[in-house]
Amino acid sequence: MNNNLIVKNALLVTCDENHNVLEDAAIVVSGNTIKWVGPSQNLERDLDNIAPADAKIIDGSNKILMPGLINMHSHCGDSLFRGLVENLPLEQWLQTLWKSQAVILRSAENCRLGAQLGFAELLLGGTTTTMDNYWRPEQSVAAALDAGMRIATGGIFFDTPGMDGFTIDDRVAQAEALFAEHGNNEEIFIGTMPHGTYTAGPDSIRKAVEIANENDGFFSVHAAETKVEQQTIRDRYQTSVIRLLNDAGALSSRTALAHCVHVDDEEIELMATNNTNVVHNPLSNLKLASGFAPVCKMMDKGINVTLGTDGPISGNDMDMWFAMRLAATIHKAADENPSAISSHQALHMATLNGARALSAEDMIGSIEEGERADFILLDITGPHAMPMFDPVSHLVFSASKNDVSDVFISGRQVVANRKLLTLDMPDISQRIAKLQPAVKAALEA
């Protein structure tokens, strides 16, 4: 496929280490890679040397060009259950929801449909990479490859049969099979993903770490999301969530811990000394009344904090722009400090920090020569985009998913002028409408 293209005359927000912003910029893409980045005027001069003759030219006037967003914690398949259960604390909410999931998710086809709906939403909103934790992850991988979505996923570990009915032995086999089948695919990331320390015991956690390490994959788990979870682990094992993970060898630079809302100073220290990444999910923490994650404290200790939407049932959408805006605002109020989490820090949480957590900062997360061409264009002609004194503050505090016009992943265009190119949305809508009554009926059975 010919992915040779040039975008010129754009306002470029690189999200690189130094937060470089370039007015009237151009990029040249050849195949899946960004070959050249610079001022549009230099493009004319260097064109013959850098751009393939057959390159398609895109006018980026009145657009911001930036890296695609990296959502480090999603449950795309949960799109099937959006809005089904509301106003309960996490534990009761999960128990209720699982009644419907236990029926609906027995079907691999339904899992695939949920993933497709989730990816459609993420792609249209400018998310190009998502770390997705879901039942039957092989369905998510297949759907992602079809849609051109860059996915990070892996085998779920859950000690009881769970929503898909598999045993822990089945899950170990599935986790290994995912590595065997997709571990060598450089376009996606495979890891292991125990659900939580309260649903997967220390033996399962150790096994998941071992499989991830053996295959040079990532490890991700829900951790210290609620007070109840911490109390459960104290009652059951006389330790805390992060200490348990540390004892199991699970804290490392290849680990992404989702939430970390209720962590003490020693736990933060353990994560920091082991270079463990944290995924902040502000909307989920607010809506499920889990609390405020000590994000500023973790960042002060040098922890790489990334951003996630969590699933569309604790959200009820997967909007990385809203996640960014919340991350940049709620901690100002919680810490009574208006300089807590700057717009630059929030933007990095949604881009470069996610790439770092995936050990892929040389591949994605910023617009730099030699990286994969994962980028988005945002319309900046709306009233909420003017005047624009600072493009980064615009992106964090004013921009929204509706501003995203075009999305490219590895040079392949997946959204053009706000239309999905790689997923059949009318077909997905029809199948969702058909399934909806069964989703509700399963809850009430």
Beta carbon of residue 316, minimum distance to Zn ion (angstroms, whole number): 13
Provide the pairing of β-strand 305-307 with 375-379: unpaired
d(CA 417, CA 420): 9
336 burial (CB, 10 Å; 0-12 / 13-18 / 19+) is: exposed
- Is there binding between residue 310 and Zn ion (CB under 5 A)? yes
Q: How far is the CB of 68 from Zn ion (least distance, A)?
A: 21
DSSP output for 314-361: SSSS--HHHHHHHHHHHHHHHTT-TTSS-HHHHHHHTTHHHHHHTT-T
Identify the residue whose tokens are 């617009």: 367
- Among residue numbers 14 through 33, which ones bind Zn ion (CB under 5 A)? none
Under rule CB under 5 A, how many of the chain's residues touch Zn ion? Answer: 1
Q: How far is the CB of 439 from Zn ion (least distance, A)?
A: 19
Q: Minimum distance from CB of 395 to Zn ion (Å)?
A: 25
403 binds Zn ion (CB under 5 A): no
Q: Kindly tell me which of 267 and 310 has the beta carbon lying closer to Zn ion.
A: 310
Of all residues in this chain, which one has the CB nearest to Zn ion in the complex?
310
Please name the helix (run of DSSP H) or strand (run of DSSP E) that holds residue 185, with its range, or none: none
User: Which residue stretch of 109-117, 205-213, 303-311, 349-357 sits at the interface with Zn ion (rule: CB under 5 A)?
Assistant: 303-311
> Is-contact 17 10, C-beta < 8 A?
no
From the list 59-67, 134-142, 242-250, 306-314, the region that binds Zn ion by CB under 5 A is 306-314
Q: CA 134 from chain center: how many Å?
A: 13
Which region among 34-42, 62-70, 235-243, 302-310 touches Zn ion (by CB under 5 A)?
Answer: 302-310
Kindly report the number of other CB atoms within 10 A of residue 160's CB atom: 8
- What minimum distance in Å lies between the beta carbon of 52 and Zn ion? 42
Residues 6+ apart with CB under 8 A from 263: 224, 241, 242, 271, 294
What's the min distance (Å) between Cβ of 73 and Zn ion? 6
State how far the Cα of 37 lies from the Cα of 252, in Å rounded to an integer.
34
16 or 310: CB nearest Zn ion? 310
Q: Is 295:279 a contact under the CB 8 Å cutoff?
A: no
Query: Which of these segments, 5-13, 293-301, 305-313, 385-393, binds Zn ion (CB under 5 A)?
Result: 305-313
Q: Specify the stretch interacting with Zn ion by CB under 5 A; choose among 32-40, 183-191, 307-315, 375-383.
A: 307-315
Task: Decide whether 310 or 361 has the Cβ nearer to Zn ion.
Answer: 310
> Which CB sits closer to Zn ion, 278 or 407?
278
Shortest Cβ 160–Zn ion spacing (Å): 18
Q: Which is nearer to Zn ion, 225 or 403 (CB)?
A: 225
Shortest approach of Zn ion to residue 406 CB, angstroms? 29
Treating both helix axes as pointing N-terminal to C-terminal, what angle do 90-104 and 425-444 enclose, rounded to 10 degrees?
110
**CA dist 432 to 85, 94, 114, 116, 129, Å?**
17, 22, 8, 10, 24
Q: Which stretch binds Zn ion (CB under 5 A): 115-123, 304-312, 321-329, 374-382?
A: 304-312
Per CB under 5 A, residues contacting Zn ion are 310
